[in-house]
């Protein structure tokens, strides 16, 4: 979806196209093998790097799937496993999510998971997207998004599930649920999450137009909570986390659950229907044809 | 209702009173007869003028019912027929609603439809008000309000159903659901539409007090989306429409429906009860007496 | 709860601790015995003083329970009786609530009502808290909060039930539902009342963090409606009341009910379960121990 956006919308994502080709010639952040003894707290998979500091109770999760942290099935699976592991670790009380890729937090769902795949594969993929959302939106940890790059579509959704959003104050970055720009409809739980954050009218206009916001626009409507210079995103997230962790945890968790439960229940009780909706839509001939033409065009660009 | 507001509230509508008498001596915008061949796209009824530009897919609907575009049963019937016609015309993708009357977009529901009428007539009138709302709020077209004058009560409701609201930046104009000022209660679907636009608290205060907002106040709370100089309202609406029509239509329409369906369903499933409520209220002796005294006073003013 | 907040949160309530001891050596506002004939309209109980002006239809209720207008069972009982009396008096159309205590509007629920009490007593107390909320939130009078001091927790709740909130512009005062800071969870109807006022996201963050806002912060998110210099709080409330009372009462009351009924119905239909939840939580050994330690610490401070 992210790539398709780049072509159709010209808003904020086109940079990723050139990057995808150029990045492939760069190495990605080198991942050293970790000792078994460390694996409980610090795990490095191919796409996600987790550093857990026992002394503070805070884990930093770095998305490091070049070029643009696309949310593929593999990525989502690793992400959910890593998050679940931290959730079950009672000593882990806070999670900061950030990106190791330059200029992008996450470009959203991986379009390759939706092209020429069986209905079963599409269903498996969509279930993984739901799972990511459910894990994050219902997390008992304090979850802070350190948004150090653009964050369209699924990347924005990931940010929206967090308790607090800090974004790099770089006007070249953008954030938003821009699915409509790509001819795709954000499902009801994307919509609900956004409405819970910026209200009904902002959500209506944002989703009808598939708007991508600059950081200052995003701050103005409450899509992010704070802007800081790019090199201070992570340190600010760490400082903010300290404040959040000073709050009595049990009361904070019950309060968070009270705020979010109705929205979560709506997906959990409609999960299979939501998957079916997605599969029916994405496997349509017209949609597949459109994706195919798009990928064809991408190949030519790279050639 | 609009006229009654003028007397009781002194806020923004009193200008219409003198206008009603003075305007009757002026001719209204001259309507040339149209050829049958043109009628499909450009229709001129006595109260509404529609110009449809096939090349852009955009229709401009001008309200031209002197003196203040009151929403009478005749007006609403024509309005709904004209809107339905455009809705069914697949080549029409956008609708801009504006006024041909000076200084007023629409003064709201016509009080004469509620005075000394049979319950059946009142019911028919209210059904027409519901129909206007249903047609506009669920339209698959992009609907933009070019608010080039005051827009109280039903005029404000009409604006609120649109996808985008551009208002003339003239501090003498006002907009709001001021029914309470007139001793009348905005029904739940007026309330829902406003809450979807400006949130619960703004709606609570606006409706309890029957507030009319200046354009800049309206912009501040999100009751309108943009202010422009009076002579640029329509051109800005046209430019904005171009942007909206660049969005993939199918995805935009499904998104719009997802945002608005719960609110629409609430009226459609309570439509008869809502009509009954209105009829019971408006045919009360006390209310009829109050309207009568008000109209009596109007006559004296005109005399 | 208010006192506990002072220890744990350091935000805005610590002033009350010293005040509690110092104030006990001061007399409270001297209450002269009232004539029976005056009692219908002007009642002075030990904790609440009501001045009703027949000529304006406005009652001013002064909270005068030293040192910090804690909401004890006695206080709440008197409050509900006084409010009910005004509600039933058709000549009373407006109620202004303010404080006679220096620097505090109300410090919230009285922690002594929750310590070493039988489940029955706790239940009785909680029912009284619910009753206060129900009476205020559903009042047919115009209710204005003249917030002339800090207003944490239950004090903030009381303010939130009003139709309009005017706060003293003194940066040393604060307002907010800070229960989470105390390890306690604001129940769903506290949350609903706040969300109806400041929206979902502001409420989520405020309740997760137990935030106390300065007056200017509170104004910014809409937690209060207006700031005025401290000595003008009551006069501004009186002037504002005049404007509200100019609105046709019947239409305003129906509108208010329409806005608030769903929230009120949610508590009335879950009232017993909500009491049970509270009792189960507050009578837990761990919670009682925590309160006990806290009170022990208070004694030492005073010694």
Q: What is the pLDDT of residues C219-247, one digit of tens each?
A: 999 999 999 999 999 999 999 999 999 99
What is the pLDDT at residue A17?
Answer: 27
Residue pairs between chains B and C whose CB atoms are closer than 8 Å: 59
* pLDDT higher than 60, residue B41: no
Which residues in A lie closer than 8 A to residue B222 (C-beta atoms)? Answer: 201
Q: What is the pLDDT of residues B184-229, one digit of tens each?
A: 899 999 999 999 999 999 999 999 999 999 999 999 999 999 999 9
The answer to whether B233 and B105 have CB atoms below 8 angstroms apart is no
Residue of C41, C69, C148, C178 marked catalytic = C178
What is the pLDDT at residue A295?
Answer: 82
User: Mapped to the 3 state alphabet, what secondary structure does A182-212 carry?
Assistant: HCCCCCHHHHHHHHHHHCHHHHHHHHHHCCC
Name the token pair of A229. Answer: 């210079």
What is the pLDDT at residue C149?
Answer: 98
B62: helix, strand or coil? strand
The residue whose two tokens read 């439809």 is B113
pLDDT band at C44 (very low <50, low <70, confident <90, very high): low
What is the pLDDT at residue B30?
Answer: 28
| C154 is an active site residue | yes
* pLDDT higher than 90, residue C42: no
CA distance C41 to C44: 10
Over residues C154-164, the mean pLDDT reads 98
As a whole number, the mean pLDDT across chain B is 87
CA distance B48 to B99: 9
Q: Provide the CA A89 distance to its chain's centre, in angstroms.
A: 22
Which DSSP category does B104 fall into? B
Other CB atoms within 10 Å distance of the CB of residue C243: 11
Catalytic residues of B: 109, 154, 178-179
* pLDDT in single tens digits along all 303 residues of chain A: 333 333 233 332 222 322 233 333 332 222 233 333 334 456 656 899 999 999 999 999 999 999 999 999 999 999 999 999 999 999 999 999 999 999 999 999 999 999 999 999 999 999 999 999 999 999 999 999 999 999 999 999 999 999 999 999 999 999 999 999 888 899 999 999 999 999 999 999 999 999 999 999 999 999 999 999 999 999 999 999 999 999 999 999 999 999 999 999 999 999 999 999 999 999 999 888 878 887 888 788 876
* pLDDT higher than 60, residue B243: yes
What is the pLDDT at residue C45?
Answer: 63
Question: What is B23-38 written as a DSSP string?
Answer: HTTSPPPP-PPPPHHH
What is the pLDDT at residue C97?
Answer: 98
Q: Provide the CA B256 distance to its chain's centre, in angstroms.
A: 20
The answer to whether B156 and B108 have CB atoms below 8 angstroms apart is yes
The residue whose two tokens read 């379009």 is A111
Beta bridge partners of A96: A60, A144
Pick the range with the lowest mean pLDDT from A21-30, A213-222, B51-60, C150-159: A21-30
CA distance B121 to B278: 12
Which residues in C lie closer than 8 A to residue A192 (C-beta atoms)? Answer: none
pLDDT over 90 percentage in chain A: 78
- Tell which residue, A122, A121, A132, has the closest CA to residue A161: A132
Q: Min CA distance, C200 vs chain A (Å)? A: 6
- Tell which residue, A21, A7, A36, has the closest CA to residue A68: A21
With 0-12 / 13-18 / 19 or more C-beta atoms within 10 angstroms meaning exposed / middle / buried, residue B131 is middle
CB contact under 8 A, C252 and B209: yes
CB contact under 8 A, B180 and C255: yes
Q: What is the pLDDT of residues B140-175, one digit of tens each?
A: 999 999 999 999 999 999 999 999 999 999 999 999
Q: What is the pLDDT of residues C1-28, one digit of tens each?
A: 333 333 233 232 222 322 233 333 332 2
Other CB atoms within 10 Å distance of the CB of residue A88: 8
| A109 is an active site residue | yes
Q: What is the pLDDT of residues B97-135, one digit of tens each?
A: 999 999 999 999 999 999 999 999 999 999 999 999 999
Q: What is the pLDDT of residues C98-136, one digit of tens each?
A: 999 999 999 999 999 999 999 999 999 999 999 999 999
CB contact under 8 A, C209 and A256: no
* pLDDT higher than 60, residue C216: yes
B180 vs C195, C197, C252: nearest CB? C252
How many distinct helices (H) and strands (E) make up chain C?
13, 11
Length of chain C measured in residues: 303
Question: What is chain A written as a DSSP string?
Answer: -HHHHHHHH-SS-HHHHHHHHHHTTSPPPP-PPPPHHHHTT-EE-SSEEEEEETTTTEEEEEE--TTT-EE-HHHHHHHHHHHHHHHH-TT--EEEEEESSTTBS--EE-GGGGSS--HHHHHHHHHHHHHHHHHHHT-SSEEEEEE-SBEEHHHHHHHHTSSEEEEE--TT--EE--GGGGT----HHHHHHHHHHH-HHHHHHHHHHT--B-HHHHHHHTSSSEEE-GGGHHHHHHHHHHHHHTS-HHHHHHHHHHHHHHHHHHHHTTHHHHHHHHHHHHTSHHHHHHHHHHHHHHHHHH-
Q: What is the pLDDT of residues B271-291, one digit of tens each?
A: 999 999 999 999 999 888 888
The most distant pair of C-alpha atoms in chain C lies apart, rounded to whole Å, by 57
What is the pLDDT at residue B130?
Answer: 98
pLDDT over 70 percentage in chain C: 85
Element (H, E) at B146: strand B142-147
The answer to whether B211 and A144 have CB atoms below 8 angstroms apart is no
Quick check: B198 contacting A, CB < 8 Å? yes
pLDDT band at B42 (very low <50, low <70, confident <90, very high): low
* pLDDT higher than 70, residue C169: yes
Q: What is the pLDDT of residues A144-165, one digit of tens each?
A: 999 999 999 999 999 999 999 9
């Amino acid at each position: 979806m992210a790539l398709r956006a780049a072509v159709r919308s010209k808003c904020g994502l086109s940079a990723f196209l050139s990057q995808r080709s150029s990045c492939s010639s760069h190495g990605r952040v080198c991942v050293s093998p970790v000792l078994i003894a460390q694996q409980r707290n610090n795990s490095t998979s191919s796409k996600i790097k987790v550093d857990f500091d026992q002394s503070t109770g805070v884990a930093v999760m770095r998305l490091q799937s070049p070029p643009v942290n696309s949310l593929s099935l593999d990525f989502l699976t690793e992400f959910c496993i890593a998050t679940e592991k931290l959730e079950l670790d009672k000593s882990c009380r806070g999670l900061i999510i950030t990106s190791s890729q330059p200029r992008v937090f996450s470009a959203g769902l991986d379009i390759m998971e939706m092209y020429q795949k069986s209905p079963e594969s599409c269903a498996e993929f969509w279930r993984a997207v739901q799972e990511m959302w459910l894990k994050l939106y219902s997390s008992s940890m304090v979850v802070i998004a350190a948004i150090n790059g653009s964050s369209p579509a699924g990347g924005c959704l990931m940010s929206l599930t967090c308790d607090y959003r800090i974004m790099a104050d770089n006007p070249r970055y953008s954030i938003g649920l821009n699915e409509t720009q790509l001819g795709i409809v954000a499902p009801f739980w994307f919509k609900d999450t956004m409405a819970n954050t910026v209200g009904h009218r902002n959500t209506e206009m944002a989703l009808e137009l598939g708007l991508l916001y600059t950081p200052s626009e995003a701050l103005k409507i409450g899509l992010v909570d704070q802007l800081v210079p790019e090199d201070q995103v992570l340190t600010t997230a760490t400082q903010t986390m300290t404040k959040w962790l000073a709050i009595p945890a049990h009361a904070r968790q019950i309060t968070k659950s009270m705020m979010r439960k109705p929205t979560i229940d709506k997906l959990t009780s409609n999960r299979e229907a939501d998957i079916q909706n997605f599969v029916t839509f994405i496997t349509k001939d017209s949609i597949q044809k459109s994706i195919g033409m798009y990928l064809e065009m991408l190949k030519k660009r790279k050639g």
